[in-house]
């Protein structure tokens, strides 16, 4: 095994056909986020058409992706992940893609991997325990927090109800002691 390069191994796995659309045009390895290294477990071989459309959603040709009808059944987790993500992106406007998403079966780990990549634009807002905070959650302040620009202190144990998320994922906004303010998410604990 040591002598074969990763790329050669991938080409052998896919019989030199694009792992999403089976085209036989030149293929390049594509690492499936959040991974960054081309490895047999984390990369797929893609033709320029698939790769281009995945990297630039503006160029998506919906009909091209009907190929996922077949490739979504691949046994290879990185192929499943890419197929699922691509279908999810198409599903909001294309019923057939949603139908395929509903039919897809993935191991739990593979599904987690697929879902991680869907939010890679958005950092999550996490509390002190790394629990994701969502709009409307109630949180408890875990330490005394001085309020910037005033002599007020928000006491440890203060409950902030129905928070909103800020543009900055490290902040939440909500009302404490009757005043609207921003709080640092990691100084809060979700109730």
pLDDT tens by residue, 80-108? 999 999 999 899 889 999 999 999 999 99
User: What pLDDT shows up at residue 122?
Assistant: 54
Give the range of the structural domain holding residue 148, as residue numbers without chain letter: 139-190
Same domain, 169 and 91: no
User: What pLDDT shows up at residue 170?
Assistant: 86
What would the mean pLDDT of 31-60 be, rounded to a whole number? 92
pLDDT at 52 over 70: yes
Same domain, 49 and 143: no
Look up residue 185 and give its two tokens: 């998410």
Query: pLDDT grade, residue 176 (50/70/90)?
Result: confident
Structural domains in the chain (count): 2
Same domain, 88 and 169: no
- The per-residue pLDDT for range 141-158, each reduced to its tens digit, is 999 988 777 888 889 999
- CA angle 65/80/121 to nearest 5° reads 80
User: What pLDDT shows up at residue 120?
Assistant: 47
User: What pLDDT shows up at residue 1?
Assistant: 46
Residue 127 lies in a domain: no
- Residues in the chain, total: 191
CB 53 within 8 A of CB 64: yes
- Cα–Cα distances in angstroms (integers) from residue 187 to residues 54, 130, 165, 171, in the given order: 37, 11, 14, 10
- The per-residue pLDDT for range 110-121, each reduced to its tens digit, is 999 998 856 544
Query: pLDDT grade, residue 47 (50/70/90)?
Result: very high
Query: Mean pLDDT, the chain, as a whole number?
Result: 89
Q: How many CB atoms lie within 10 A of CB 108?
A: 7
Same domain, 153 and 112: no
Q: pTM to 2 decimals?
A: 0.61
Same domain, 15 and 60: yes
């Amino acid at each position: 095994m040591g002598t074969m390069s990763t790329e050669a191994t991938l080409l052998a796995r896919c019989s030199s056909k694009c792992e999403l659309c089976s085209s036989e045009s030149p293929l390049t390895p594509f690492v499936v986020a959040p991974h960054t290294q081309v490895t047999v477990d984390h990369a797929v071989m893609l033709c320029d058409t698939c790769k281009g459309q995945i990297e630039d959603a503006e160029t998506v040709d919906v009909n091209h992706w009907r190929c996922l009808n077949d490739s979504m059944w691949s046994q290879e987790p990185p192929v499943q992940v890419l197929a699922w993500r691509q279908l999810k992106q198409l599903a909001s406007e294309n019923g057939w893609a949603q139908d395929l998403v509903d039919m897809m079966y993935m191991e739990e780990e593979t599904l987690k991997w697929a879902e991680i990549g869907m939010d890679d634009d958005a950092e999550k807002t996490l509390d002190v325990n790394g629990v994701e905070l969502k709009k409307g959650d109630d949180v408890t302040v875990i330490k005394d927090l001085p309020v910037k620009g005033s002599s007020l202190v928000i006491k440890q144990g203060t409950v902030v109800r129905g928070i909103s998320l800020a543009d900055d994922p490290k902040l939440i906004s909500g009302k404490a002691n009757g005043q609207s303010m921003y709080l640092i998410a990691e100084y809060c604990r979700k109730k």
